[in-house]
Amino acid sequence: MFSALPIPGWIDLIDIAMIAGFGWLAIRYVRTTRARPALLGLGVLTVVYFIARGLELRLTASLLQGFFAVVVLILVVVFQEDLRRVFEQLGTWRRGRPEISAESATLDQLVRSMSHLAATNTGALVIVPGQDPLDRHLEGGIPLFGRMSEPLLLSLFDKHSPGHDGAALLRGSVIERFALHLPLSANHSEIGPGGTRHAAALGLAERCDATCIVVSEERGTISVARDGQIRTLARVEDLVGELQSLYQTSPQSQAWWRGRVGLDAAIAGIGALVLWMVLVPGSDVSEKRVSARVEIANLPKEWVLQSVEPPSVEVVLHGLRRDLLLADPDRVSVSIDAYLARMGRRSYSVSADDVQKPSALSVVSVEPDRVKISLENVEKKELK
């Protein structure tokens, strides 16, 4: 018989954990992608579609079903940049980030260089790559592969240098290239008062997980672009914390279960469990016994119903486990046609055809298969 709460086994738990992991990655990605509003809108339409199906809103469900028939093409066209990034991440999966301690000469020299450039209102843009490939986002540039030092970085962004207006790529302790050109962001509200360098930094941060450090030539401020956002630092000293979060594992990052990351993990886990219940045991065929009330229809107007014996019957329903679980017991009833009561009939057989139920389910048996009704003739009562 039907079990309302199926219990997953060890293999099922591994299956659920894998789907939860993919779900967590998807949620984290949606939080940072530029296509987040469009994806949220698509999710709302999906929820509306399932609600329409549940409420049997045929017109709405049909129109949305036609829309979802071409949704794959829409996803490819609208989200082609984001899909490409996903496949690149899967193809270049690596563990962790480059490790440079907070006491390293590279980190100190980078902070001192940015501080000096900001103090002299010298524009600069430095790229610190993450795990995503960068080559397809970068144009031009001059190969250097020189070890990071303060004099080298200051000379690259000197106002008389040919590479002054470009970006420098810092990978680990090596400046690989300079005078690079980056894609520009069109998010003017996020860029704010920033100029072309800020638009370039944000443009790259929108397309990959790289971090861009920008020095404003007009205002002498330092900004950091990461995860599709750009922030201006209140103090030069704040750059140390930003760089430490890139290269080191801080106590906050060790407590991964805290904050938004933990919330995303919980949402992914619950979603994976629900999907497992719906798609795995929910697809199994099972049976469920419900109590169905007896309703009398087509009773002649001269008769008044006094009682029904029994007032309800036991119906065994057959169907998919998820349909049985979601079936509303109030929607299951037995309808008896009492038209022949005028000819003295008081006992009626109950068959599967008399059971009103969700269309996805079928009737296995009805117990008892006969009901009796008690009537009173109103016309004769009035004559007396």
Q: Read off the pLDDT of residues 246-259 as tens digits, 9 standing for 90 and up.
A: 765 444 444 444 45
Preceding peptide of 310 cis, ω within 30°: yes
Is residue 1 included in any domain, yes or no? Answer: no
Report pLDDT for 163: 79
Is residue 100 included in any domain, yes or no? Answer: no
Q: Same structural domain for residues 75 and 163?
A: no
Number of domains in the chain: 3
Residue 288 has phi, psi (to 5 degrees) of -145, 135
**Residue pointed to by tokens 């509200």:** 189
Res. 95 pLDDT band, cuts 50 70 90: very low
State mean pLDDT over 31-57. Answer: 73
Report pLDDT for 125: 92
* CA atoms of 202 and 205, how far apart (whole Å): 5
Is residue 224 included in any domain, yes or no? Answer: yes
Q: Same structural domain for residues 69 and 17?
A: yes
Report pLDDT for 5: 57
Is residue 289 included in any domain, yes or no? Answer: yes
Q: Same structural domain for residues 308 and 358?
A: yes
Please report, to the nearest 10 degrees, the dihedral formed by the alpha carbons of residues 7, 332, 290, 315 taken in order.
Answer: -120
Q: Same structural domain for residues 15 and 65?
A: yes
Is residue 3 included in any domain, yes or no? Answer: no
CATH number of the domain within which 304 lies: 2.170.120.30
Q: Same structural domain for residues 221 and 315?
A: no
Is residue 83 included in any domain, yes or no? Answer: yes
Please determine, for residue 96, whether its predicted confidence score (pLDDT) is greater than 50.
no
What is the domain range of residue 58? 10-95+256-281
**Among 349, 361, 261, residue whose Cα is nearest residue 317:** 361
Q: Same structural domain for residues 124 and 210?
A: yes
Q: Same structural domain for residues 67 and 20?
A: yes
Question: Taking the model in full, what pTM does it have?
Answer: 0.53
Q: Same structural domain for residues 119 and 219?
A: yes
State mean pLDDT over 40-46. Answer: 78
Q: Same structural domain for residues 349 and 276?
A: no
Q: Same structural domain for residues 131 and 221?
A: yes
pLDDT tens digits, one per residue of 155-196: 988 888 887 888 999 888 888 889 999 988 888 888 888 888
Q: Same structural domain for residues 49 and 67?
A: yes
Res. 6 pLDDT band, cuts 50 70 90: low
pLDDT tens digits, one per residue of 121-133: 889 999 988 877 7
Last residue of a domain, one of 247, 271, 301: 247
CATH number of the domain within which 151 lies: 3.40.1700.10
* CA atoms of 138 and 167, how far apart (whole Å): 9
Q: Same structural domain for residues 219 and 112?
A: yes
